[in-house]
Structure 1
Amino acid sequence: MSGRYVKGFAFSLLIFVGFIQRESRNGLPVQAAENGGLFLPEGFEATVVVDSLPGRARHIAINENGDIYVKARFARDKNESVIALRDTNGDERADVIKRFGGLERERSYGTAMRIYKGYLYFSSEMYVYRYKLTPGQLVPDSPMEVIVVDDHPHGMHEHIAKPVTFDNEGHIYVAYGAPSNGCQPKNRIPNMAGIDPCPMLEDHGGIWQFDANKTNQTQKDGRRYATGLRSVVGMDWNSADNSLYAFQHGRDDFLMLWAEKYTPWQSAVLPAEELFQVKDGLDGGWPYCYYDQIQGKKLLNPEYGGDGKIVGRCDKCAKPLIGFPAHWAPNDLLFYQGTSFPDRYKNGAFVAFHGSTNRAPYPQAGYFIGFMPAKNGAISSDWEVFADGFAGVDPVVNVSDATYRPMGIAMGPDGSLYIAETEKGKIWRVTYKGDKTNFGTSQLAQMEKRKTMANIRNPDEITDNLDKGKPAIGSKVYAVYCSACHQRNGMGDSQRFPPLSGSEWVLGDKKKLITVLLQGLDGPIEVKGQSYNNAMPQHSFLKDEDIAEVLTHIRTNFGNTADAVAATEVADVRQALLPKSKPVTKRKK
């Protein structure tokens, strides 16, 4: 066997086994198969609890006997939005899997799974539920109770998830995300000013406090605890300082909406994902302000006259403890109270970065578990990489390239850390096997080097531009207005934004497709048998020729072979959508 053949075979084997790597990159540690493909600090080990779950996995909670409860991304059947897992033979793998929970009229998507004072709490888009757990019993037989109902008449919208956490006094905190990116009269329209004052802040864009034991509460039964928070998914109560902490997802689309003010690079790395210590009455600044982590300032959003430099009214808004780079999607937060990890982890916070979708033409980023140590009674801004390797590729060009995307984190009764991801429904259990008394900088050195990976470091404006020196890929209109959500390869992100490849919406009736682009689309839809719920903004500001060009592009690319769309067809649909004037009738004399 020749040397060239051996190297080729080894490379093919490397690709086949996926995460197993025989050569380190830039001096980074070798990725071990026994760690389920994860890179971890020295002394930590990971085992795979379950390789995949049919409903995938979002957030998780671990009971005091080690049973695992998972919030499913999809319900196989109605009333089955929770997945319960148990290891009965002690091999650290789940061998019993049961499903239960939810309402028939609800889709399963949601963002909460917590155990609090003997109850299992979880959420869907419009409800927060709970079950009373019976010791030793995997699936509760108690009646399901509705704790909070989202009774707003507009129904489901983007940022509809209902994350929850609890304080030490019997309160449950529920986030109500804003139903838009900014506060424009029409969502995500280029160069459109924002409404001032923003009426959405009356009942959205904040965190509400409720009684954790009272059933069938609506928003009016709670009280607004914090405002100015566009979208909160990861939040947790820190018992060490008796305070609420939450991550705000920063706004999107600087380039698409304000191309004359922001470059593609600025749109990729700004604005920050903000970690707040949420004190009663906090104002995070949305929709008027955003945080620029590079300048270390709260700045005025362009919808309100900002240009990337003006502070204006934003000097009155709360500044975050840490501003992480844009679009990393911090989707879970856990303050570690266990004792099985080295002392540096006590009272520190783990964060699951689900990963970006809209950084093109730069690589996508995030897709790892971060850690923020506790220092002098506060959270240190010197954050660390705790677990990486989920994506399996570097760089991540399209979201669908990432093999796994971490989402949920929870602590087991023995102090181990559980991590769930959304793409396959895989769950890892991380334990510490080293010497706790001899854990420090040297054990973390290799993880510090991971900050040089494309999914973590700030991209270079020139060398990391994936389109550098290349002609524009496909449609220019698609690149500017569509690729951030549907991705450069038309595959969507598997969670919020549907694929265009093979989509019945793309390949079906042209008039319906043109109407979607002209009018937008809001609320739940189904594409290729999978449910999605996010806002598709209207693009009526585009010329008929541009709409025809981009629709022809998506109907003839990404594996699609439908016929073209003509500008005259767009013009006909646009005319038909215009409001009809009532005929004038003459009054009889």
Structure 2
Amino acid sequence: MYRMDRISAFFLLLSVIIFSQCNRRAELPKGDPGNGGLFLPRNFEAVVVADSIGPARHIVVNDNGDIYVKLSHSKKGEGGNVALRDVNNDGKADSIVHFGNYPNEGGLSNCMRIHNGYLYFASELVIYRMKLQPGKLIPDSKMETVLTEEDSRGSHWHITKPVAFDDKGHLYVPFGAPSNACQDLIRTPGGTPGFAGLDPCPELEKYAGIWQFDANKIGLTQKDGRKFATGVRSVVAMDWNSTDKNLYVVMHGRDDLHFLWPNKFSAWQSAVLPSEEFLRVNDGDNFGWPYSYYDQMQKKNVLAPEYGGDGKLPARDSTVRLPIMGFPGHWAPNDLLFYTGDQFPDHYKNGAFIAFHGSTNRSPYPQAGYFVCFVPFVNGQPTGEWEVFADGFARVDPVVNTSDAVYRPMGLAMGPDGSLYISDSRKGKIWRIMYKGDKNQFGKAELADMEKRKLKSNIRTPDEVNDNLYKGKATPGAQVYNYFCVSCHQHNGKGDGERFPPLDSSEWVNGDKKRLINIVLNGLQGQVEVKRQPYNGSMPQHSFLKDEDIAQVLTYIRQNFGNNASAVSPANVTKFRNTATNKK
């Protein structure tokens, strides 16, 4: 009798589990045909919540399912935030409302979090918050200023403001480096080939680190916090891991190894190095920038060329922390989410999702990234492997120009039911990803097709010879362009749509020759407006180029990319250079 009771109890428990799983699946909306264009592991489905809300950055989902999205920039009068609500539970947003009356320009606006009932969001220089109210999609509470970056430079490189909160009342904010590798930005905007970095690097005092603040205070500036970690060049992806009680970031590595040091690094090395570093950040950690970087192929920190490195010499400071994982260069990690939900199989529990926004500067090789990765964690530690979780955003293969990518994954959020949400920065598409299979049957077979996608050109390591897209195909002006300009402005001259402006049909390109020559010779910093859109990527000076080279490349861009302006002669460049020299 006792044995029969145990058997009955077992089957009762089993039936409850099965019913519970079936009931949860029944409550989830139906996925779209073709999963909204995404490739996902078996038995996952995706529904497109919204198709085109504008250039989306980070995203968050409230406990009631309301979605809040940060826009990188917004039209006048529309607001820098978007709120979405699904009224009939079909997975589609029925209400889409823009809100947030604050300055929102520059392209690097970021951050969307909910903490203690407040909605946090940020422009490039200011973090704001508004109190959410039960039942209301749009908060009508007072907008409070949490933190202001008092920077005399104004907008600069790596000025994004993601935030994270720990469980002890602290707020974490990165302050990105205003340079690539601590070059002297007064003498050499953007960097000049062969120039050493400043030593010691003065930027480390106020930049290239993560600061800790009191999360209960508002009206803060940087001096109200303390430097929690240093040597962190640029952070957009950051999350607090509630399981092991640690802060994690995925750092954007430095750029332009070949452009700045052509005698030390090949174009191929510059395309795949240095690593995008997945970091566990503890109080007082130093991650090496600008003096060193992590090489994921050698699996070690190496000395940066600005400080005497050749790609092989080890970092000069042995106390620099290593990443927990190194990803290939320039994939652009733009969000990080530790999954704590119960909807997905246990394989995903407490693991990390990373949104790789996609590269801009891998030329002459295909651009890479443009997918969402998953890193399994076991007992609080990464297993050392990573998986392709969601791919197909770019819709083209290979991605020759960044602007060829139809969508770029940007933000990650988890809904109250454990669904994963992904935002796109190109048009503002929002996907909701759900699991519809048997969690107990999930295994390697469900991941097999995604493993094959590692062979795609946006994910695999390019072949140094066979994957070179433009080998031996360029005219003299195009050769100069492909060597010095294409990383930012792209092969089609359209820029990346966010940091670096387009040259195609540009009023700057078709305008005054002297202005163009001056920009090439002396560089350009600060925000500019091109075709009615703001950009703040730094333009390096190229005074080291011969007058003939400058004339050829300017003529090339003025007579290509939809432009039809007169040629620039070497004499034009020589005259301008001599005039500028005589004025000094």
- TM-score normalized with structure 1 length: 0.91
Per the TM alignment, residue 376 of structure 1 is displaced from its structure 2 partner at its CA by 2.6
Per the TM alignment, residue 470 of structure 1 is displaced from its structure 2 partner at its CA by 4.0
Mapped to 2, the partners of 1:34 and 1:479 lie a distance apart of 37
**Residue 36, structure 1, aligned to residue 63, structure 2:** no
Partner of 1:267: 270
Which sits farther off after the overlay, 572-581 or 281-290? 572-581
CA contact (8 A) 2:72 2:104 kept: no
Change (3 A) 1:491 1:467: same
CA contact (8 A) 2:208 2:231 kept: yes
Per the TM alignment, residue 479 of structure 1 is displaced from its structure 2 partner at its CA by 1.0
Partner of 2:193: 190
User: Which sections of structure 2, spanning at least 5 residues, go unmatched?
Assistant: 1-30
Partner of 2:90: 91
Which sits farther off after the overlay, 326-335 or 562-571? 562-571
CA contact (8 A) 2:285 2:321 kept: yes
Partner of 2:519: 516
Partner of 2:19: none
Mapped to 2, the partners of 1:236 and 1:107 lie a distance apart of 24
Partner of 1:320: 323
CA contact (8 A) 2:231 2:287 kept: yes
CA contact (8 A) 1:72 1:82 kept: yes
Per the TM alignment, residue 315 of structure 1 is displaced from its structure 2 partner at its CA by 2.7
SS of equivalent to 1:465 = coil
Deviation sequence 1:359-391 (CA, Å, 0-9, x none): 111111000000001123212220000000001
Per the TM alignment, residue 579 of structure 1 is displaced from its structure 2 partner at its CA by 6.6
Per the TM alignment, residue 468 of structure 1 is displaced from its structure 2 partner at its CA by 3.9
Mapped to 1, the partners of 2:74 and 2:315 lie a distance apart of 47
Mapped to 2, the partners of 1:358 and 1:162 lie a distance apart of 23
Partner of 2:458: 455
Per the TM alignment, residue 103 of structure 1 is displaced from its structure 2 partner at its CA by 2.0
Partner of 1:177: 176
CA contact (8 A) 2:73 2:105 kept: no
Change (3 A) 1:217 1:417: same
The amino acid that maps onto 1:129 is Y
Partner of 1:368: 371
CA contact (8 A) 2:73 2:104 kept: no
Deviation sequence 1:104-135 (CA, Å, 0-9, x none): 48557412111111000011100011000001
Partner of 1:21: none
The amino acid that maps onto 1:304 is Y
Mapped to 1, the partners of 2:576 and 2:449 lie a distance apart of 58
CA contact (8 A) 1:349 1:371 kept: yes
Partner of 1:74: 73
Partner of 1:437: 440
Per the TM alignment, residue 473 of structure 1 is displaced from its structure 2 partner at its CA by 8.2
Mapped to 1, the partners of 2:41 and 2:369 lie a distance apart of 18
The amino acid that maps onto 1:122 is F
Partner of 1:529: 532
The amino acid that maps onto 2:455 is T
Mapped to 1, the partners of 2:244 and 2:51 lie a distance apart of 37
**Residue 226, structure 1, aligned to residue 229, structure 2:** yes
Mapped to 1, the partners of 2:357 and 2:106 lie a distance apart of 21
Partner of 1:51: 51
Mapped to 1, the partners of 2:103 and 2:502 lie a distance apart of 26
Deviation sequence 1:519-552 (CA, Å, 0-9, x none): 2111111111111111111111212221111111
Which sits farther off after the overlay, 179-188 or 422-431? 179-188
Per the TM alignment, residue 224 of structure 1 is displaced from its structure 2 partner at its CA by 0.4
The amino acid that maps onto 2:91 is E
Mapped to 1, the partners of 2:164 and 2:475 lie a distance apart of 46
Mapped to 2, the partners of 1:71 and 1:158 lie a distance apart of 19
Mapped to 1, the partners of 2:477 and 2:571 lie a distance apart of 22
Per the TM alignment, residue 78 of structure 1 is displaced from its structure 2 partner at its CA by 4.6
CA contact (8 A) 2:107 2:534 kept: no
Per the TM alignment, residue 173 of structure 1 is displaced from its structure 2 partner at its CA by 0.6
CA contact (8 A) 2:301 2:314 kept: yes
The amino acid that maps onto 2:483 is V
**Residue 501, structure 1, aligned to residue 536, structure 2:** no
The amino acid that maps onto 1:495 is E
CA contact (8 A) 1:238 1:335 kept: yes
SS of equivalent to 2:37 = coil
Partner of 1:138: 137
SS of equivalent to 2:528 = strand
SS of equivalent to 1:513 = helix
Mapped to 2, the partners of 1:346 and 1:309 lie a distance apart of 38
SS of equivalent to 1:286 = coil
Mapped to 1, the partners of 2:487 and 2:416 lie a distance apart of 40
SS of equivalent to 1:291 = strand
- The share of aligned pairs that are identical, in percent, is 61
Q: CA RMSD in A?
A: 1.6
Mapped to 1, the partners of 2:93 and 2:521 lie a distance apart of 48
**Residue 337, structure 1, aligned to residue 336, structure 2:** no
Which of 245, 250, 253 matches 1:250? Answer: 253
Mapped to 1, the partners of 2:73 and 2:580 lie a distance apart of 35
- TM-score normalized with structure 2 length: 0.92
